[in-house]
Amino acid sequence: MRTRHTFTIANPDFKAQLLQWSQQFEEVVWLDSNRYQQNYSTYDAVLAVDAFTCISTDSHQGFDQLQEYQAITKDWIFGYLTYDLKNDLENLKSEHFDGLEFPDLFFFQPKKIFLIKGDIVEMDYLRMVDDEFESDLKEIAAIDFDEPTKPSKLLNIQMRLTKEQYVAKVNTMLDHIHRGDIYEANFCHEFYAEKTHIDALATYRKLNAISKAPFAAYFRNHDHYLLSASPERYLKKIGNKVISQPIKGTASRSKDQLADENLKNELENNPKERSENIMIVDLVRNDLSHTAKKGSVTVEELCAIYTFEQVHQMISTITSEVEATIPPVHILKTTFPMGSMTGAPKISAMQIIEDLEETKRGLYSGSIGYFTPSGDFDFNVVIRSILYNADNNYVSYSVGSAITSKSDPLKEYEECLIKAKAMKEVLEN
């Protein structure tokens, strides 16, 4: 079905040239670790372009349709799951304003795939386009990606909630927590700009240069774009092993080395941040147990501190073993949406989130990634991301934080602004 060609990268600008070359296609997925290799990293970067087949649907029976598509293609497929697929799993709804209008689920079978690890590139081409690989390489090598781009116009970014409205809603969520309805919930709010055009690729490059995130992504499906600087893995499957790496706990960085180390230590020893993280670890353990072999769910890393360009993060790693007979999509279905973006108990948290938030989350706090022909997969969490509908000229980014009984609404608001910093800088030049 596919022909593989392998070669060694000679030009240090190859990745930038490759991403620039991809812009001629209507369907693009670019996943970049920015060389931030973790224990379970497989590739440095992956590019998939040009749909041979695809699936695009709303949430109704979305996972069943994806499972059928994945089983029929038995090939690489790339795409995304929006947060609103929760409505396919439980008696939930998403009725808020949606300025972005992305399909709830989209995957495609690419004609051309590039898999990069170190200085080795594997090109996996469907046989129908295999005779194009040499001309493609020549085109890529000839690209001058340093051509100046037109500066983006100044965006009029607005907040969906005022500071006072945000604080009031967090206090309402705290009332739910104190009543025992939930223990924790992730509350998000949107920043947006209307009637706005942006250069999607240039914006992604700026965002990636600032953040250098390990689960960065550039996605295009015709007029819909995702520009992501995500630091978080949702779920990965390698053979019979499943890995989840939720993030809960954030601290800002300092340019002063001593102050930065103090911020890192404060995060590591912060009882509120640790309790947030441990609650989500328990939720993920429960989610993984639905498909795990008995006794195989393991917490490999609890409340570890990882340092990124913009922030320090508290990350845990939970793994399980699954039987080979379990369909890969079923593993996603029984863990979605990810606990780090919902709360505990999950269903009650999602109901309260829907009552309090003002906009439909859509792809924000969903996931983008891929399945391999063997049924392995790797998906990130769509956070620290800019979403753009070029058809209706709507730009959006959302941020959130975990609300627990120990939360101070004003500090949660400040945490949201820290998380929004990179997107705001990029869009406001």
Catalytic residue among 27, 184, 232, 415: 232
**188, two tokens:** 């998000």
- Phi and psi, residue 370, nearest 5°: -155, 160
Catalytic residue among 111, 248, 333, 346: 248
Element (H, E) at 2: strand 2-8
What's residue 148's pLDDT? Answer: 45
**CA–CA dist 233, 368 (Å, integer):** 10
The verdict on residue 351 lying in a domain is yes
In angstroms and rounded to an integer, the radius of gyration of the C-alpha atoms of the chain is 21
Is residue 278 exposed (0-12), middle (13-18) or buried (19+ Cβ within 10 Å)? middle
The verdict on residue 146 lying in a domain is no
pLDDT < 50 positions in the chain? 147-148, 151
What's residue 226's pLDDT? Answer: 98
Q: What do you get for the CA distance between the two ends of the chain, in Å?
A: 45
Is residue 60 exposed (0-12), middle (13-18) or buried (19+ Cβ within 10 Å)? exposed
**CA–CA dist 345, 177 (Å, integer):** 11
**CA–CA dist 244, 235 (Å, integer):** 5
Name which of 22, 26, 36 is nearest 380 in CA terms.
Answer: 36
DSSP string across 74-108: -S-EEEEE-GGGHHHHSS----SB-SS---SEEEE
Question: What number of CA atoms fall less than 13 Å from residue 416's CA on the CB side?
Answer: 26
Report the SS3 class of residue 329. helix
| Count of structural domains, the chain | 1
Report the SS3 class of residue 222. coil
Cβ-contact 57, 103 below 8 angstroms: yes
Q: Residue 323 sits in a domain of what CATH number?
A: 3.60.120.10
150 is catalytic: no
The verdict on residue 68 lying in a domain is yes
Report the SS3 class of residue 161. coil
pTM for the full model? 0.95
What's residue 145's pLDDT? Answer: 66
232 is catalytic: yes
The verdict on residue 341 lying in a domain is yes
The verdict on residue 148 lying in a domain is no
Full domain range(s) for residue 21: 2-141+153-427
The verdict on residue 193 lying in a domain is yes
